[in-house]
Amino acid sequence: MYLYIINYAKAQPDLTLMAINTFRKDSTERINPIIRALAVRTMGCIGIEQMVEYLLGPLQSALNDEDAYVRKTAVMCVAKVYDINPERVEEAGLLKNLADMLLDGNGMVVSNAVVAITEISHKKGKFVTLTPKLIHQLLNALPECAEWGRVYILDFLSENTLCHEAEITL
């Protein structure tokens, strides 16, 4: 159903906005984290400018969710929303929230945060400074990540270490 709505939204954006209350309600579903994650992901994937205002609150909540699956979905959603409206993402403080997710205790959340930060950095420029604590956190996340996540983390470390090598002391 969610995939149908995402695809249908491109053809009928006004009708899609009528479903927003359902997504917002699903994003607060307390029993099933998959429903919360799907609701946030769907709102982020719709790609309609008007959706951004309705998505910011649920997205902030999802970034602080107790379930790692919801958090990892939310960090990727930040990058999608940034593509739609970078100014609102910055005003809402989501870039800082995204950078804070690099210190999450779950490796999959950390690797998704690295992916989202990398995507946004290609448009905005670098906005995360590596510190010894952050480097340590990223290296500790490697065993928990899928292979693609490890590649992104290692690329992120190599690109940012070269740019900031004078600032980093281990």
Which pLDDT tens digit goes with each residue over 133-159? 999 999 999 999 999 999 999 999 998
Q: Could you give the CA distance from residue 136 to residue 147 in angstroms, rounded to a whole number?
A: 19
Residue with tokens 């205002």: 53
How much is the pLDDT for 46? Answer: 84
Burial of 77 per CB tally in 10 Å (0-12, 13-18, 19+): buried
How much is the pLDDT for 162? Answer: 57
Angle at 119 between CA 100 and CA 73, to 5 degrees: 60
Sorting pLDDT into bands at 50, 70 and 90, what band is 161? confident
Q: Which of 62, 63, 53 is nearest to 28 (CA)?
A: 62
Task: Walk me through the domains of the chain, giving residue ranges and CATH numbers.
Answer: 2-125 (1.25.10.10)
| DSSP-derived secondary structure letter, 144 | G
From the CB of residue 35, how many other CB atoms can be counted at a distance below 10 Å? 17
Residue 131 tokens read as 């510190």
How much is the pLDDT for 168? Answer: 41
Q: Could you give the CA distance from residue 24 to residue 57 in angstroms, rounded to a whole number?
A: 9
In this predicted structure, the answer to whether residue 70 has a pLDDT above a threshold of 80 is: yes
Q: Could you give the CA distance from residue 168 to residue 40 in angstroms, rounded to a whole number?
A: 36
In this predicted structure, the answer to whether residue 49 has a pLDDT above a threshold of 70 is: yes
What backbone torsions phi and psi does residue 28 show, to the nearest 5 degrees? -110, 10
Give how far the C-alpha of residue 18 lies from the chain's centroid of Cα atoms, to the nearest Å.
25
Sorting pLDDT into bands at 50, 70 and 90, what band is 165? very low
| DSSP-derived secondary structure letter, 101 | G
